[in-house]
């Protein structure tokens, strides 16, 4: 009796005949630092189809309309149902939440990659079924321009030496939202970027966690970047302006910053947290706020 599959994966191909592959990280996972399809195991009560739709959304924000069962492959951990789908988009722009990177690869580049079990088997089956042979004896895939690949230098992450965070400006009627940290500084909402997050997603998450205000990523405008250092640690702070939100700012359980108030821009409190002060003067250069210098880079908005 054939063992039914208990895992899912998505073979996603674009109009150029390229395949979307995901480089796994070294967290507890089968075959770390290999290139594989997006996918995962079903949750309780989920069908395989429901599981792959959820996994694509969670891992990369993807929604594939024509996703359908394609083949079954074996991995060291389980049998995997591979689904086939088509998508033409910028893989580098997807909000990857797991792994190292997500890229399109030509079939000709696969021998250069360390692939997870079953990945090559599924791709070769797809090629055999769909590659169009022309009258000249060449294939559609062979006629596509070669794409240059990239890969990590080593199987270990770089040595940490930088902190990346977001300072969030929420303002209305000439006032800006500031809270008071338990150590006494006045600060904007904000915090560290978590692995796999986009900057707008970080801003939305931190705003909700610290103040209870809810916003959409589409309502976050990235204003600029600040670069300075504390001791030997580089600090990169992105200024994010939230243009629309819902709710009232209030103290949140377990958060070190509270007592949220709307402060007039011409009467800001003393004792601003340094990154918050830097964010405010990048956003509004006329503000009379003193702070240590930082390299400042304003971002052009589309």
Residue 131: its pLDDT value, please? 58
Q: Report the 10 Å Cβ neighbour count for 240.
A: 28
Closest by CA position to 284, among listed 298, 269, 270: 298
Q: For 89-108, b where at least 16 C-beta lie within 10 A, e where not — what string?
A: eebeebebbbbbbbbbbbbe
Q: For each of the chain's 302 residues, which pLDDT tens digit applies? A: 578 999 999 999 999 999 999 998 877 777 888 999 999 999 999 999 999 999 999 999 999 988 999 999 998 888 999 999 999 999 989 999 888 899 999 999 999 999 999 999 999 999 988 754 434 444 444 455 667 778 777 778 888 889 999 999 999 999 999 999 999 999 999 999 999 999 999 999 999 999 999 999 999 999 999 999 998 899 999 999 999 999 999 999 999 999 999 999 999 999 999 999 999 999 999 999 999 999 999 997 65
Residue 158: its pLDDT value, please? 81
Residue 30: its pLDDT value, please? 76
Q: Which CATH number fits domain 162-298: 3.10.450.50, 3.40.190.10, 3.90.79.10, 2.60.120.10?
A: 3.90.79.10
Report pTM: 0.55
CATH 3.90.79.10 fits 7-143, yes or no: yes
Residue 255: its pLDDT value, please? 96
The residue extents of the domains of the chain are 7-143, 162-298
Same fold, 7-143 and 162-298: yes
Which residues have a Cβ under 8 Å from the Cβ of 130 and sit 6 or more positions away? Answer: none
């Amino acid at each position: 009796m054939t063992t039914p599959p208990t895992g899912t994966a998505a073979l996603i191909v674009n109009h150029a005949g390229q395949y979307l592959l995901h480089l796994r990280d070294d967290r507890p996972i089968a075959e770390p630092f290999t290139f594989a399809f997006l996918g995962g195991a079903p949750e309780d009560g989920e069908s395989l189809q429901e599981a792959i739709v959820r996994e694509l959304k969670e891992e990369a924000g993807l929604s594939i309309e024509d996703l359908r069962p394609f083949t079954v492959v074996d991995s060291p951990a389980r049998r995997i149902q591979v689904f086939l789908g088509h998508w033409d988009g910028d893989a580098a722009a997807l909000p990857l939440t797991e792994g190292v990177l997500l890229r399109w690869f030509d079939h000709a580049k696969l021998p250069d990659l360390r692939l997870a079990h079953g990945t090559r088997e599924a791709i070769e089956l797809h090629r055999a079924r769909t590659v169009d042979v022309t009258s000249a004896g060449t294939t559609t895939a062979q006629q596509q321009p070669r794409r240059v690949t990239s890969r990590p230098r080593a199987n270990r992450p770089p040595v940490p030496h930088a902190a990346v965070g977001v300072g969030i400006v929420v303002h209305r009627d000439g006032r800006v939202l500031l809270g008071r940290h338990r150590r006494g500084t006045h600060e904007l909402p904000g915090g560290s970027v978590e692995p796999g997050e986009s900057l707008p997603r970080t801003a939305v998450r931190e705003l909700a966690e610290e103040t209870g205000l809810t916003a959409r990523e589409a309502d976050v405008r990235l204003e600029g970047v600040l670069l300075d250092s504390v001791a030997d640690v580089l600090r990169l702070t992105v200024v994010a302006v939230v243009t629309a939100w819902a709710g009232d700012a209030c103290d949140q359980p377990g958060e070190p910053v509270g007592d949220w108030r709307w402060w007039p821009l011409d009467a800001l409190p003393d004792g601003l947290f340094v990154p918050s002060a830097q964010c405010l003067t990048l956003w509004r250069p006329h503000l009379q706020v003193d702070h240590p210098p930082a390299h400042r880079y304003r971002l052009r908005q589309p």
